[in-house]
Amino acid sequence: MDTLHSGIFYAFAAVTVAGGLLAALAAGRPRALGLALVAAGLAALYADLDAGFAALVTLVALGLSALVLLRAGAGRTATALEPGTLVNQLGASLAFRGAYFADYHAGGSFNTAALGRLLVDRDALAVEAVAAALLTGAAAAVLFARVRAR
């Protein structure tokens, strides 16, 4: 692992940790900013590890969560932390013991070939059932929205 790659990784890790602390300990708009920092930092970490699909999903999910938190928490007041919450979170973080793994794979950063094999190889019927359920749900949502608008 080269020095520049390590420096970029640890810089984004610091952004993610700082955002996590801000999201855990602040209230109101700073909490939403902290969650946005976690989204950006974690997505950058995934992209740095050649996990582009995970980076995209993380950025969308946590970014939208930060927007919802920003909108919903505008008029709320801060609540106090329960005693021991920070200690429990610190203990869980220390118990994780995650390791950095750098490796090259020929699938590209999104690894679409492996994702396609995973979804179509042995789980094709389940994927089709989920797709049908999502399509039915989307059609029902559009129908309900049109009925409600009238």
- Is a pLDDT exceeding 50 seen at residue 2? yes
Range of the domain at 82: 3-110
Confidence of residue 95 (pLDDT cuts 50, 70, 90): low
Same domain for 51 and 73: yes
Q: Both 12 and 52 in a single domain?
A: yes
In a domain, residue 89? The reply is yes
**Which pLDDT value is given to residue 90?**
65
Indicate whether 10 and 60 sit together in one domain. yes
Residue 116 lies in a domain: no
Residues 95 and 130 in one domain: no
Q: Is residue 53 part of a domain?
A: yes
Contacts by 27-33, CB closer than 8 A, 24 or more apart: 27/73, 27/76, 27/77, 27/78, 27/79, 28/73, 28/74, 28/76, 28/78, 29/70, 29/73, 29/74, 31/69, 31/73, 32/66, 32/67, 32/69, 32/70, 32/73, 33/66
Q: Say whether both 104 and 127 belong to one domain.
A: no
Same domain as 129, residue 85 = no
Residue 60 is assigned to a structural domain of this protein: yes
Same domain, 130 and 100: no
Domain count, the chain: 2
> Which of 14-23, 62-71, 84-93 shows the lowest mean pLDDT across its residues?
84-93
Residues 55 and 106 occupy one common structural domain: yes
- Is residue 92 located within the same domain as residue 132? no
Confidence of residue 100 (pLDDT cuts 50, 70, 90): very low
**pLDDT number for residue 12:** 92
Q: What are 42-84's pLDDT values in tens digits?
A: 999 888 887 888 888 888 888 888 888 878 755 455 555 555 6
The model's confidence at residue 91, banded by pLDDT at 50, 70 and 90, is: low
Q: For residue 91, is it within any domain?
A: yes
